[in-house]
Chains A and B, each alone.
Chain A
């Protein structure tokens, strides 16, 4: 039988879902060992999380995107269960991801907006259009507000 270590070094393709389970298992096992091993697991999970947005953009629209999203959830959940204090002590930019089915994301966001009053407090408030702005009253659109940079 092929062990994960053998297969990961093999030229034969291994699907992303299998690799996700390997990584998840490694993170969980290393976290249980504590010390430097746990620190390495936390660092790996952080790294994978940090590169997730760019990787998702690269894979958007094909089947790998979905698999990558599953991999991300596998790793994120393992990290949350093992390193909750550390992760909650680290700020990050919101990385709520879009899906292949926009209506699902839309329903999720809509329901969350209706019931999660805390979310409203964290919304960034854009400045009102200035005199130099070409946006007219009735046609006011969030998307058309110029960047403040």
Chain B
């Protein structure tokens, strides 16, 4: 079961990954908008900048929460790969690597985690990788 058909697990992982993409994109846009509003505050007043900053904070909170969900999905997928490598498999190969839909789910997580990371920053790449490594190392 689960070799070449969509399973509930892979569908759930895709949904969480897509949602993570959306929330990080929102946070990225909110950051840019907030910065621009702050620059314009000198002549346009501070109310708009304050509202934009609030939006940015809310967007960031959602990203943080989504990162937790993201970590849960990583743990679940990791369990399947662990099971595949130890479930009486005498050939020494991991059955999970031949599971197309499961690999697809991992690919979706990688896209969401690496390519659509947290809001843009100068060292975004390093930041993303460190965040995800932290999630991986969290206790199950």
Q: Taking A84-B80, A88-B102 as contacts, is the C-beta distance between A77 and B7 under 8 angstroms?
A: no
Q: Taking A118-B104, A122-B4 as contacts, is the C-beta distance between A88 and B9 under 8 angstroms?
A: yes
Contacting pair A122 B21 (CB below 8 A): no
**B7 is contacted by which of A74, A78, A79, A90 (Cβ under 8 Å)?**
A90
In the complex formed, the residue of B with least CB distance to A75 is B12
In the complex formed, the residue of B with least CB distance to A93 is B6
Q: Count the A-B residue pairs with Cβ separation under 8 angstroms: how many?
A: 134
Contacting pair A88 B107 (CB below 8 A): no
Residues of B within 8 A of A115 (CB): 107, 111
Contacting pair A116 B7 (CB below 8 A): no
In the complex, whether A49 has a CB less than 8 A from a CB of chain B is: yes
Contacting pair B16 A76 (CB below 8 A): yes
Interface residues on chain A, number (Cβ under 8 Å): 42
Tell me the A residues contacting B by CB distance below 8 Å.
46, 49, 69-70, 72-74, 76-85, 87-97, 99, 101, 104-105, 107-108, 111-112, 115-116, 118-119, 121-122
Tell me the B residues contacting A by CB distance below 8 Å.
1-2, 4-19, 21-22, 25-26, 62, 65-66, 68-70, 72-73, 75-77, 79-80, 83, 100-104, 107-108, 111, 115
